[in-house]
Amino acid sequence: MTDQTLLTLVAAPQVEDTLVDWLLARDDVPGFTSYTASGHGSSIHSMSLAEQVSGRRQQVVFQLRLSQAQAEAVVSGLKQSFGNSGLHFWLTPVLECGHL
């Protein structure tokens, strides 16, 4: 087992550029992966009419592999900088990682 944690962030496309700049400016973030995804769910009150009709919402997912302490520091900074932005996050332990 490692001391590594996978921090996953899910953001609205409107927040993507600002979040990318914020992450790149941090010394404790060595890099990250981002990709577009479709969010599905029953929370229609926050979806536009077009999203309700299509049954999906466009989102951007970010993944960062960090130490537990780094991940907690990043989350703390996100709470300060992106409060009320609708940003969703979770932390997952990394059991093993490496290059093949």
Average pLDDT over residues 40-55: 59
Task: Give the CATH number of domain 4-93; options: 3.40.50.300, 3.90.79.10, 3.30.70.120, 1.10.1040.50.
Answer: 3.30.70.120
CA dist 61 → 72, 90, 100 (Å): 18, 11, 25
Domain extent listing, the chain: 4-93
With a cut of 60, say whether residue 70 has pLDDT above it.
yes
Average pLDDT over residues 36-44: 70
pTM: 0.84
Tokens of 31: 């890099």
